[in-house]
Amino acid sequence: MDYFFIIDFVQSLADGLLFGTTYALIGIGFTLIFGVMRKLNLAYGAAALAGTYVGLGLFLTFNAPPFVVFLASAIGAGLIGLVVYYCCFRFTPEAHPMASLLASVGMLLFLEEMMTHVSHGMPHPYPSVLSGATLELGDIWIRGDLLFVFGICVVAMALLFWLLYRTPLGLATRAVSQQPRAAQLCGIDSARVNALTFVIAGVLGGTAGAMTAAAVGILSPIIATGLTVKGLIVVVIGGLGSIPGAIIGGLLVGAAENIFLLLRGVTERDIYVMLLLFLFLTLRPGGLFGSAATRD
Amino acid sequence: MKLKSLITAGMISASALALSSAAFAADKTVRIVGFGASSGVVGIFGQNSGAAMSAAFEKINAEGGITLADGSKAMIETEYYDDRCNAEEGISVLRRIASTDALVAIGPTCSNVAEPLFGILQAKVDDAGDTGLQFPVFTDVAIKGGLAGISEWVFRNTPSEAKMYDDLFAWIRETYPDAKTIYGGVEEDFAHSRFTWYSVMKTAAEAHGFELVGEAQWLLNDTNFSNQARGMRRAEPDVVAISAHPFTSCGMLREMARQKIQPKVLVGLTSSSSLETLSGCANEAQGIIIPTSFAPVNDEAKAAAEAVAAKGGALDLHSAAAWENAMILRDVINAAGIEGTPDTLEADRRKIRDGLAALTTAHGLLGENKRMPDGEAVKPYVFVHAQGNAWEVVHNPGS
C-alpha cells in the first residue's frame, strides 16, 4: 500500500464525512416527518431545494450577504414545507397512505419543474463561505467551506435536539410521534404539531440545500433528484424514524460514496452505494437504529 | 344596354376573383417546425433554438416569405415541440410532427435523442423494403459526430468537433510550445461529453504531441469533485481539457481553484461557450478556451444575435445553427419548387430532402458552410476565451 493511497483514503474519508452532514440533515428531515406522521414525504428534497432558490433570489436581486442567503434558504424551505403539508398531507384521508405518498410525488415533480422553469435550467452562482480557505494537515487538505458546512449542520442538529428534548413543542412532537391518540386526549393539537414538524424539517432541508450549493458554489435544479435519493438511502441505512440513525447514515453514505469513488471509480460508485442499500434492506430492514416498537 | 350591363358585371366578377386569388396567395402558409428540449435541465438549449428559429422566420416573412412552384409567395408558420431531452419523447414528437402538414423539422437538441430518433427514419431513400419514416430532419444542436449517416433523411448543420479540436490543439502546440502534458476531465454519463473527450479531444491532443497524464470522471449531477481534482493536482498537467456541461464544469473549475491547480491552458467543451458558464462561474472560467462556430464577429452575426435577443433567446453555437437552418431551408424551398398543398405534402418533403442533399455549400453566419455528402457540415469557427463576463475571440483560424 503506497503512501499516496493512504493519503487519498484519509482525504476521501474526511471529505465524505464532512459532506455527509448535508445528507444527514436531509435524512433527519425525512425521518422527522415519518416519525411524527408515519408517512413518507417524497417532495422533501425538492422542497428543500426550492427553499434554496428563495435564498438565491435574494442573492441575485439584492446581492444579499451569505448568512442572509442561507437564512432565507432555510426559512423559505420551511414555508414551502408547510405548503407541501397542506397540499399533500393535511387533507388526504388517513386510511389511504398511498394518497399522500403519490401526492408528494406529484409535488416533487411540480417543484422540480417550477425550479427548472424559473431558472431556465441554468446553473447560478451561490455564495460560499471560506471557499478559498484550506486547513493543511501535512498532505491532507481540509476544505474551509466544508468545515463551515459541517459546523452549520452540527449546529442545526444541536438546535433540533434542543427543540425536541427541551421545549414544550418538542414534548408535543414526541408525544404525537409515540401515541397520537393519547397525545390528542391530552389536549395536544396533532394537526398543529404535524404542520410545525413540516416547517422544522423544511428548515433543516433548506439548510442542507444551502450548504450543498455553498460547497459547490453553484445551484442547479438537477441537484433535487440527488437530494431525494440520498435522503432516502440515509433513512433506510440509519433506520426510518431514528434521528441518530439519520445522522450516522448520512455520514456513512457520504464516506462510502467517496471511498467507493476512490477504489472503483465514478462509474461504479453508485452501484456500490446501492448495493449497501440493498444489503441493509435485506439483512437489516430496520436500519442501524430502527426500532421494532409500534404504536396505536 | 343589357349587353353593357352584362360586360360590366363580368368585369366586376373577374376583378373580384382576381383580387380574391391574390388575397388567397398572400394567405398561403407552409409549416416548418422545431423540436428539442425546451424544458428540463437542458431546456435553455431548446428555448434558444426556438427563439432563433422564430426570429429567422420572422425576418424571412418580412422579406416576402418563400416562393412556391407556381410563383406565388407563402409565409412560414412555425412551432416548437418539446422532447425534454428524452429519447422516447423525441421519437413520439417526431412521429406527431410527421403526421401534420409540416414540411421539415429542425432539431433535436440532445445527441442521446438524435441517435435513436434517426433510427426510425428510412435509412436509404427509395428503399422499398424499409418502412422507416420519410420525413426530412435538419439538426441544429445535437452535436455528437457522425449521426447524419444513420439516415439519408437526416441533415445536420452542427460544427465538426473533430476538425475544430484538431485545429485547436495544433494552435495550442504552436502558441504554447512549453505545454507538453494534458489531463482530461469528462462528464461520464452524458453522450456528448463522453464522445467529445474520448473520441475527439483526446485523439486530437495526442495527435499533436501532448502526453496524456491522467483522466478524471464525474457524473452530470455530482456535487463533489475533490477526489478528481486531487489526481489532477498530482499530475501537474500543462493543459487541462474539461469535457462537461456548465453545471459540472463550474463545480470542477471551482475545485481546481481551491486546490490551486493552474494549468498553462484550459480547454472546454463546445457547449460550454454559452452564457450558462459565465452565469455560473465567470471568475473560475476566466481564460478557458473553446472552439465555437458562432461569435458575433460580423454585421450579419451581430444583427442575428440582436434579433434573437429580442425574442428572449441568446445566439450561441447551437442556436446560431437553428437560425442558419431556417435561412438554408428558405433557399432550398425557393429552388425546389414545392407546391405547398395537402395533396403534394409527401412530394414536397421529398423535394426538400433532395434539395438539402444536393447542397455542397450553404451560407452561414461566419461564412460559407461546406455541406458534406453524408449530410454533415463543416462550418467556419473561431476560438473564444472567457474574458470578464463575455466570450472574446482569441483566434480566428479563417482570418
Largest CA distance in chain A: 64
Inter-residue contact B183 to B237 (CB < 8 Å): yes
Tell me what pLDDT residue B303 has: 95
Residue B71 inside a domain? The answer is: yes
* Residues A61, B5: Cα–Cα separation, whole Å: 75
The Cα B311–Cα A117 span in angstroms is 17
Q: Which of residues 20-59 of B touch A (CB under 8 A)?
A: 39-44, 47
Is residue A121 pLDDT above 80, yes or no?
A: no
Angle between helices A223-238 and A97-119 (to 10 degrees): 150
What is the pLDDT at residue B23? Answer: 45
Inside any domain, residue B16: no
Strand pairing category for B29-36 and B102-106: parallel
Examine the domain organization and report whether B217 and B337 are in the same domain: no
- How many contiguous H segments (helices) and E segments (strands) does chain B have? 13, 17
A164-200, pLDDT tens digit by residue? 889 998 899 889 888 888 988 998 998 999 999 999 9
pLDDT at B4: 60
* Nearest C-alpha neighbor of B385 from the set B299, B267, B238, B240: B267
Q: Give me the number of domains chain B comprises.
A: 2
Contacts of A262 in chain B (CB under 8 A): 227
Same domain, B107 and B64: yes
- For residue B224, the chain A residues in CB contact (below 8 A) are 15, 19, 215-216, 257-258
Of A116, A217, A262, the CB nearest to B281: A217
C-alpha cell at B314: 441568446
**CB contacts, 8 Å: A113 with chain B:** 39
Q: Which pLDDT does position B222 carry in this prediction? A: 85
Q: Are residues B149 and B168 located together in one domain of the fold?
A: no
Residue B391 forms part of a structural domain: no
CB contact under 8 A, B226 and A143: yes
Distance CA B254, CA B251 (A): 5
Mean pLDDT of A112-116: 89
Q: Which CATH number belongs to the domain containing residue B318 in this structure?
A: 3.40.50.2300
C-alpha cell at B295: 461569435
For residue B88, the enclosing domain spans 29-158+297-379
Q: Which residues of B touch A134 (CB under 8 A)?
A: 258
B214 C-beta neighbours (distance < 10 Å), count = 17
pLDDT of the residue at B311? 94
Smallest Cβ–Cβ distance between B41 and the set A4, A222, A262 belongs to: A222
Identity of the residue in B222, B258, B280 whose CB atom sits nearest the CB atom of A125: B280
Q: B145 and B246: one domain? A: no
d(CA B307, CA B321): 14
Give me the pLDDT at residue A295, please.
44
Rounded to the nearest angstrom, the minimum Cα separation between B314 and chain A is 12
A22, A142, A222: best to mutate for the B interface, most B CBs within 10 A: A222
Q: Is B280 on the interface with A (CB under 8 A)?
A: yes
> Complex ipTM, two decimals?
0.78
Dihedral sign from CA coordinates of B125, B131, B133, B135: positive
Residues A78-108 have pLDDT tens digits of 999 999 999 999 998 877 888 999 999 999 9
CB pair distance less than 8 Å for B224 and A11: no
Q: Is residue B133 part of a domain?
A: yes
On whether residue A112 sits in a domain, the answer given is: yes
Contact residues for B19 (Cβ-Cβ < 8 A; gap 6+): none
The confidence score (pLDDT) of residue B57 equals 97
B271 with B192, same domain: the answer is yes
A223 pLDDT higher than 70: yes
Q: Could you tell me the pLDDT band of residue A293, with boundaries at 50, 70 and 90? A: very low
Domain count, chain A: 1
**Residues B133, B197 share a domain:** no
Please tell me whether residues B343 and B254 are part of one structural domain. no
Q: Is residue A199 part of a domain?
A: yes
Q: Which residues does chain B have with pLDDT short of 70? A: 1-26, 399
Pair (B272, B329) in one structural domain: no
- Domain that residue A199 falls in: 19-229
- Measured between alpha carbons, how far is B90 from B109 in angstroms, rounded to an integer? 10
What does the alpha-carbon distance between residue B105 and residue A153 come to, in Å, rounded to a whole number? Answer: 51
SS3 content of chain A, % helix, strand, coil (to 5): 75, 5, 20
From the list B120, B362, B355, B194, the residue with the least C-alpha distance to A266 is B194
- Closest Cα to residue A153, out of A94, A205, A86? A205
Element (H, E) at B105: strand B102-106
Domain final position from B292, B317, B334: B292
What's residue B5's pLDDT? 63
Listed residue (B79, B81, B66) closest to B32, CA to CA:
B79
- Given a cut of 70, whether residue A136 has pLDDT beyond it is yes
Nearest alpha carbon to residue B66 among B357, B356, B332: B332
Pair (B278, B234) in one structural domain: yes
Nearest to A122 among B44, B218, B222 (CB): B44
Is A258 within 8 Å of B227 when comparing Cβ atoms? Answer: yes
Q: pLDDT class for A214, splitting at 50, 70, 90?
A: confident
CA A248, A249, A254, A259 dihedral sign is positive
Q: What angle do CA B288, B290, B294 make, to 5 degrees?
A: 135
pLDDT of residue A147: 86
Contact A12 B227 (CB under 8 A): yes
- Mean pLDDT, all residues of chain A: 88
The residue among A64 and A227 whose pLDDT is bigger is A64
User: Is residue B10 a part of any domain in this protein?
Assistant: no
Res B143: pLDDT: 85
Do B361 and B277 share a structural domain? no
Q: What is the DSSP letter of A159?
A: H
